[in-house]
Amino acid sequence: MLKEVLYVGKNQWVVKYGGKWAVKGEGNKRATKVTDTQKQAINVAKEIVQNQKSELIIQGRDGKIRSKDSYGQDPCPPKDKEH
């Protein structure tokens, strides 16, 4: 049996943006918000995903996915070992 996760909004990505960091909605060409630090971008993105019940994906400086966190309505959520 597959479990179903219900997401309402777009997933939000925290990505390197030149010398800064940006929050981008999945599939969007433009950044939602550009910040000086990754931590600032993560804080902005967390607010968005909590309101939209979506997923936060954080890329490291090398462009690889560093972290993911879901805020959807998962009926059987996994045990989060990161947070």
Judge whether 8 lies within some domain. no
Please state the domain count of the chain. 1
pLDDT in tens, 25-79: 999 999 999 999 999 999 999 999 999 999 999 999 999 999 999 887 665 555 5
- Give the pairing of strands 65-70 and 33-35: unpaired
Judge whether 6 lies within some domain. no
**Are the C-beta atoms of 54 and 12 separated by less than 8 Å?**
yes
Map tokens 């433009």 to a residue.
30
Judge whether 55 lies within some domain. yes
Residue span of the structural domain in which 27 resides:
13-70
* pLDDT confidence tier of residue 3, bands split at 50, 70 and 90: very low
Q: Is 67 helix (H, G, I), strand (E, B) or coil?
A: strand
Backbone angles phi, psi at 63, to 5 degrees: 90, -5
CA dist., res. 75 & res. 3, Å (int) = 8
CA dist., res. 35 & res. 62, Å (int) = 18
Judge whether 2 lies within some domain. no
Judge whether 42 lies within some domain. yes
Judge whether 41 lies within some domain. yes
